[in-house]
Amino acid sequence: MGEDGTLTVNNGKPAVGRKQIAATAQSYMEAFPDIRLTMDSLTVQKNTYRYYWTFKGTNTGPGGTGNKVDFSGFEEWTMNF
């Protein structure tokens, strides 16, 4: 990934660059230590990719609720090669 890559989660403030994107990913791994993220499918149209996934885990990290989650979604990636 280039240093100018960005990650926006649920229309929030974008994480910019490798360090911030890694910190965002780390926050999910800390909140859900048993995280299971599976790829359901991948579609491609020109320079746009959609990665469909399922997220499962238990919120047992710091300040966690102990609640289990199981939800699906997708990410849309735009590549500028």
DSSP H or E segment with residue 43 = strand 36-45
- Say which DSSP state 9 is in: S
Q: What is the pLDDT of residues 32-67, one digit of tens each?
A: 999 999 999 999 998 899 999 999 999 999 999 999
Write down the pTM of the prediction. 0.77
pLDDT tens digits for 7-36? 888 889 999 999 999 999 999 999 999 999
> Which residue in 35, 40, 37, 30 sits closest to 57, CA to CA?
35
Q: Tell me which amino acid residue 62 is.
A: P
Positive or negative: CA dihedral 17, 54, 10, 69: negative
- Which amino acid does the sequence have at 28? Y
